[in-house]
Chain A
């Protein structure tokens, strides 16, 4: 292994080590939360809701729940890990090492990405025990999920670097991220909404992400799949470029 690879994997191991050490909070709690959503919305309320676009309600909501699990965990892992290390200045050990801006950014990004992926896989496994989840378009589903995970991992890095207190991270998650995800159509189809809410929903970027993941699993989407993938790729790349610039200039990391 080259020195660059050793550096990168050490940085990444630190991120994984962190969330595995507090796995009840980082893996257990989100899994329980998703299980409760499936139980309440799927099994309890879903039994009284007719099919949506020819799909059982409980099956209809599972793709959105998987996306939500990946997105929120990728975001919260990176935002809190960076803020915490910055707060304690433990991050100085990494910043004063030969690690480049790219190595640091990728290691932080993949920490949250992998935590989100683990919770998403556990969510999928748990949901599969309760209902049959088809995978109609794996070639759309896999890139869509990877892009969603990486997008929210980048968003977590951005908020973590910019945050000055824990309240900043909590604000972004509670008042921005969660409403966007919930109102993006995790639990319903936007076509059921009255105007102007149906139109407003189309300005929510998460609506298109959910559309992509739902199309990958169920073969149903309310938005153009190709266009959604293209915009998601562009947005993820743009966010990555912004974060790279922050790490390269040391914004709020180096004095």
Chain B
């Protein structure tokens, strides 16, 4: 099992209850989608898994390692591409990758080879000596993805990786993550692009109000909500079924 979350709750010091008894299991090698509206608890769940937030209750196990009690081992297995650009302004693109791999204990020669490889994969070689501050938005996003992959994580967490990126990068990323998934990397993806989740993910969970409200394949979810597509199921979830394309077409006819 790649990720086992049981009864996870998170209450922030502000009093906000971001997660309320979330339980979730992701098999090793699975491509799993987590969908939900803004503020549903997706990022909090990811932060608890990666050690950036401390759970209030419940357990998280990453490949059998408790994310709190055995945090170092759990984090070693995880690569995170966060939603917000959080690059270090003092580093160049190549340094960003090299330091990240160093934080994960990767030896120098391996770091150098992996940096070269990922700069190439993400078309960043020409920008390797540029400060992260001067990179374009798309380049920053590429670098964040490359950084998440540097230490060859067994579980890759992509938190809205394609938000605001151009079509080529989105397609390149899809191809790349499908390839590493086929090679055995487990992937947890959060996205607002439902077609992305539908095409990539083996299973999808809907999260809303800090709780998992439905889980299954896109067909299972559509059936559970009694609608024809994942998009309609999602609209049912957020209570906006008046926006359904099928309904708009009916009204137009």
Residues of B within 8 A of A (CB): 12, 44, 47, 50-54, 71-73, 75-76, 78, 80, 82, 84, 86-91, 95, 99-108, 147
Contacts and interface: CB of A to CB of B under 8 A. Distances in A.
A173 to B, nearest CB: 20
Interface string A1-29: 11110110111011001100110000000
Interface residues of A, number: 32
Contacts of B73: 98
A88 B52 contact: no
A96 B50 contact: yes
B72 A98 contact: yes
A4 B105 CA distance: 6
A17 to B, nearest CB: 7
A89 B72 contact: no
The 5 closest A-B pairs by CB, nearest first: A10-B102, A3-B105, A97-B103, A98-B72, A255-B53
B82 A92 contact: yes
A224 interface: no
A233 interface: no
Contact of A92 (B78, B86, B91): B86
Contacts of B72: 98-100
B102 A96 contact: no
Contacts of A100: 72
Contacts of A50: none
Given A18-B90, A90-B86, A98-B72, A6 B106 contact: yes
B111 to A, nearest CB: 9
Contacts of A9: 102
Given A97-B75, A98-B103, A254-B51, 5 more contacts: A6-B108, A10-B99, A94-B103, A98-B73, A254-B54
A255 B103 contact: no
A93 interface: yes
Given A96-B75, A98-B76, A14 B52 contact: no
Contacts of B88: 14, 85, 88, 90, 93
A89 B105 contact: no
Contacts of B44: 255
Nearest to A107: B103
Interface of A: 1-4, 6-7, 9-11, 13-14, 17-18, 21-22, 84-85, 88-90, 92-100, 250, 254-255
A93 B47 CA distance: 12
Contacts of B87: 88, 90
Given A6-B106, A11-B103, A98-B104, A17 B90 contact: yes
A9 B101 CA distance: 12
Contacts of B76: 98
Given A6-B107, A93-B147, A88 B50 contact: no
A95 B52 contact: yes
Nearest to A81: B90
Contacts of B107: 1, 6
A171 to B, nearest CB: 23
B200 to A, nearest CB: 23
Contacts of B100: 93, 97
B103 A99 contact: yes
A103 to B, nearest CB: 9
Q: Which of A1, A10, A17, A100 has the most CB of B within 10 A?
A: A10
A152 B200 CA distance: 52
Contacts of B99: 10, 13-14, 93
A29 B54 CA distance: 40
B93 to A, nearest CB: 14
B82 A98 contact: no
Given A17-B95, A255-B53, A96 B90 contact: no
25 contacts: A7-B103, A9-B102, A11-B102, A11-B103, A14-B90, A85-B88, A88-B86, A88-B88, A90-B86, A90-B89, A92-B86, A93-B88, A93-B103, A95-B52, A96-B50, A96-B78, A97-B103, A98-B71, A98-B75, A98-B76, A98-B105, A254-B51, A254-B52, A255-B12, A255-B54
